[in-house]
A = this chain, B = another copy of it.
Amino acid sequence: MSGGNTSRERVTLFDTTLRDGAQTNGVDFSVEDKVLIAGMLDAFGLDYVEGGYPGANPTDNRFFAEKRTKRAQFTAFGMTKRAGVSLSNDPGVAALIEAKSDAICFVAKTWDYQVRVALGASEEENLDGIRQSVAAAVAAGKEALVDCEHFFDGYKANPTYALSCAKAAYEAGARWVVLCDTNGGSQPEEIEAIVRAASAVVPGDHLGIHAHNDTEQAVANSLAALRGGARQIQGTLNGIGERCGNANLTSIIPTLLLKPFYADRFEIGVTEEALQGLTHLSHRFDEIVNRAPNRQAPYVGASAFATKAGIHASAIVKDPSTYEHVRPEQVGNHRRVLVSDQAGRSNLLAELARLGIAVEKGDRRLDTLLSEVKEREAVGYSYEGADASFELLARRTLGSVPDYFTVESFHVTVERRHNALGKLVSVSEAVVKLEVGGQRLLTVAEGNGPVNALDRALRKDLGVYQDAIADLELVDYKVRILNGGTEAVTRVLIESRDDSGDSWMTIGVSENVVDASFEALIDSIIYKLIRAGVQPA
């Protein structure tokens, strides 16, 4: 689609998932989450990864103790120098300079009213803060960006002052001057006109747009800014962010790459090949933040290429392109209704090849596996996040997974009562009965909760396999309720690791959280035994 047109202009993509996205209600990143997500964004081809606000909290301080990207500009966010203190006495700016980032994105006020009311500073003091902060970043060998907070409202109130802030940032050496629609209320036409006005004082290839979704037009506003001359778009994965969210890069990226309307004019750092990982990226991110993926999400949603039986169904058979604005494979998604066995099989073959499981294209067992996967996904399994469980399922269907051991029964209790000292205590205990190579093993363990007790009991004595699982470690444990209410189906995802540093994910689904956890624990142990090349006793 994007042809070989060499005169296309480069549009830069700036991801703020880990910074502005952290303002989302219910989203709370750990340092480990941030490391993982930054790596995903970097590999996908984003130009900037903004990681947080060093100096503001311990998580971000730890995150910025190292550079976390290979290709992308690793960016720290913070405020410009405060009025009334010298640069060297501003701890905020100092923390930004010290952070192990390639770039600093300063947020600056550009609405005269806000400068007076919120900062209590003079207009000139604010301009001076912008200039000094940018100069300090540049002097420290870093790239500087300036987020012009409330730029559009500020421009409507006092265009001269808003533009003077943008100009001050640019002249002080900022690589990008980013115009923010902070409260998200501006309309595309306004965005386009005001960006065009700003391009009179800052060249368009130094102007960015930071839009919010408060009128459901963050994507349209970002694209309107391109029309106005801006060449950087800021946004987040899956459009997370404060209130109604930030501009959704998961929608903007495929539109820029696949719609000739944009692809003929612009180029971006994400390749069409990388784009085929978009759906996986989007869903994996949701797994990490433990959110249910939005089925209706453009491009990546489970329903994005689904057609409900009706007048469209037969037309889709005749020519899919009439009801699909792009080919689902271009974004790593697939057609849902009328899922052609061909498409399903080729997906499956690709996945098996990725896992190194050799199978002939015409093997009948592929159909068995395909229908097994579909049946399981219908009751709540999701193999997208659980490759180890998928591999076990595939190996069970296509080859054979050894019968390492048999679980006869387990029994878990959780008791909360007052102890002898009158203190309320909870005690969790699990008993597991196993058979390993003809030998019956009974183990009991206590834990911090029912699943922890079960995990400990299981791994306390696996007989002849004990050495092989000695370095198995649980890294993460996630629970999602699929239908709502405690009677609903529970999906448990467990991430395990061993001394090699590799980690793998397993899944369990049941009405019962303990059962679901047990299934995922067992899968993890069996996967580890296969990895270790252990023969069954």
Interface on A for B, CB 8 Å cutoff? Answer: 23-26, 28, 30, 32, 57, 79, 111, 114, 117-118, 150, 153, 182-185, 187-190, 213-217, 219-220, 223-224, 227, 239, 242-245, 248, 251, 255, 259, 261-262, 290, 292, 295-299, 301-312, 314-315, 318-319, 322-326, 338, 341-342, 382, 384-385, 407-418, 426, 428, 447-452, 455, 473-488, 490, 495, 510-515, 517-518
Contacts and interface: CB of A to CB of B under 8 A. Distances in A.
B476 A25 contact: no
Contacts of A28: 382
A450 B450 contact: yes
A242 B484 contact: no
A255 B30 CA distance: 37
Contacts of A223: 187-188, 217
Contacts of A303: 24-25, 242-244
A203 B127 CA distance: 51
Nearest to A107: B311
B480 A488 contact: no
A440 to B, nearest CB: 14
A1 B414 CA distance: 57
Residue of A297, A312, A326 with most partner-chain B CB within 10 A: A312
A516 to B, nearest CB: 8
Contacts of A411: 413-417
A513 B244 contact: no
A239 B487 CA distance: 29
Given A411-B413, A480-B290, A513 B242 contact: no
Contacts of A488: 477
Contacts of A342: 57
Contacts of A517: 486
Contacts of A183: 322-325
Contacts of A450: 412, 414, 450, 512-514
A305 to B, nearest CB: 7
A247 to B, nearest CB: 9
A415 B451 CA distance: 13
B481 A475 contact: no
Contact of A319 (B117, B477, B486): B117
A371 B309 CA distance: 47
Nearest to A111: B322
A234 B491 CA distance: 32
Contacts of A319: 117
Residue of A417, A451, A486 with most partner-chain B CB within 10 A: A486
A396 B413 CA distance: 32
A479 B259 CA distance: 40
A115 to B, nearest CB: 12
Contacts of A188: 188, 220, 223-224
A248 B244 CA distance: 14
Nearest to A251: B216
Nearest to A518: B416
Contact of A118 (B24, B32, B315): B315
Contact of A447 (B187, B299, B447, B486): B486
Q: Which 7 A-B pairs have the closest CB atoms?
A: A185-B325, A220-B220, A479-B479, A449-B512, A448-B511, A409-B417, A452-B486
B477 A385 contact: no
Contact of A413 (B292, B412, B418): B412
Nearest to A511: B448
A318 B486 contact: no
Contacts of A384: 25-26
Contacts of A111: 322
